[in-house]
Amino acid sequence: MKWREFLVTTNYANLEIVTAILLESFPQGFQIEEAENNVIIKIYTSPSYPLSCLKNLLRKRTSCLKNGSIFFEVKENFIEENDFVKEQTFFKPIKIGEKLLVKLSSKGYFGGKRIVIEMKPGIAFGTGTHPTTQGCLLALESLVKKGDRVLDVGTGSGILAIAAAKLGASKVWAIDSDELSVKVAGENIYLNQVAQKIFLKNISFEKFICPQVDILIANLTKEDIFRMLSRFKKIGKSFIFSGILTSSKKEFEEKLSREFNIIRLISREGWLTVVCRRKDELT
Ligand SMILES: C[S@@+](CC[C@H](N)C(=O)[O-])C[C@H]1O[C@@H](n2cnc3c(N)ncnc32)[C@H](O)[C@@H]1O
């Protein structure tokens, strides 16, 4: 299968604003690499997504900013999925918190006493390297209790749903609006032998008839979370929200403060993960 790879070059000063704009159209995420004095943001998307569309998006969104001159350049490549997968063979096992270890399925590694989450190399977001995924894993490690019911909104590679199941959740609903993500998540769920606990579905949150859960996880964008917040509140008791830039911390806290108690903030590489509980939920 062929993929379109966009390479968006910007400088460190503009990185936050450019990634915030890109996340709206590419919620599956992207890779960020250093390049001399600049940074390159690599986006993998369908071959039918035109380069002109991406250029227009960036031009339009940056032109209305007060400081106007946002530097960016955009190039594109077409790559085979297999080449992308080969690149990921450099991925090292990652220890998360006290209990978890994420590794590629192609790599042998003894996790010791840690709970091992195996991931197939692939394009879907969530091999455990992104700070927003890591923030959610850290939060899950201390939040999940035996028998909990969990909803993972935007499961990507399935990593958080798998972690929740392995940490003791009795039932996990994992949904994603992206078909490829659901395919990859299905493979990862099978690989980790947690299929009996996880209900996986290719559907958007907006259309999903949600169960009542103890923990709702949403590693999306700030805008998505704000838009879905009132419905989230009806479904969950505790929440893990991620995909929020640390610069939006105050705005996020203010938005949540009326109906939620924030119980933990995890900050990693410019990204924030927020653990909170509904105010009317006492335990
Ligand atoms: C940033 S990725 C997070 C993946 C994974 N949960 C993780 O933490 O690594 C966001 C995922 O949410 C999915 N998504 C975005 N909006 C959604 C919606 N409204 N309903 C369901 N899935 C959505 C995207 O397709 C993408 O796979």
Domain count, the chain: 2
- Tell me: do 57 and 128 sit in the same domain: no
Residue 66 binned pLDDT confidence (cut-offs 50, 70, 90): low
Poorest-pLDDT segment among 106-110, 166-170, 198-202: 106-110
Atom of ligand 1 nearest to the CA of 28: 26
- Tell me: do 271 and 250 sit in the same domain: yes
- Tell me: do 226 and 155 sit in the same domain: yes
For residue 54, CA distances in Å to 49, 76, 146, 189 come to: 8, 10, 45, 33
- Tell me: do 80 and 107 sit in the same domain: no
Residue 109: predicted pLDDT: 60
**At 230, is the secondary structure helix, strand, or coil?**
helix
CB atoms within 10 A of CB 35: 9
- Tell me: do 163 and 252 sit in the same domain: yes
The pLDDT tens digits for 4-40 are 889 999 888 888 788 888 877 776 567 777 777 888 8
- The backbone torsions φ and ψ at residue 109, rounded to the nearest 5 degrees and listed phi first, read -160, 135
- Tell me: do 123 and 258 sit in the same domain: yes
CA-nearest residue for atom 6, ligand 1, is 155
283 is a domain residue: no
Residue 90 binned pLDDT confidence (cut-offs 50, 70, 90): very low
- Look up the domain containing 260 and give its range: 91-278
Find the CATH number of the domain harbouring 167: 3.40.50.150
Residue 213: predicted pLDDT: 98
Residue 282 binned pLDDT confidence (cut-offs 50, 70, 90): low
Question: Where a domain ends, among 34, 66, 86?
Answer: 86
Question: Where a domain ends, among 52, 69, 86?
Answer: 86
Rounded Cα distance, 235 and 221, in Å:
19
Atom of ligand 1 nearest to the CA of 132: 8
**CA-angle at 261, arms to 148 and 168, nearest 5°:** 15
Global pTM reads 0.76
Atom of ligand 1 nearest to the CA of 203: 21
Query: Is pLDDT at 145 greater than 80 in this prediction?
Result: yes
What separation in Å is there between the alpha carbon of 112 and the centre of ligand 1? 31
Question: Where a domain ends, among 36, 65, 86?
Answer: 86
Rounded Cα distance, 262 and 240, in Å:
10
What separation in Å is there between the alpha carbon of 153 and the centre of ligand 1? 6
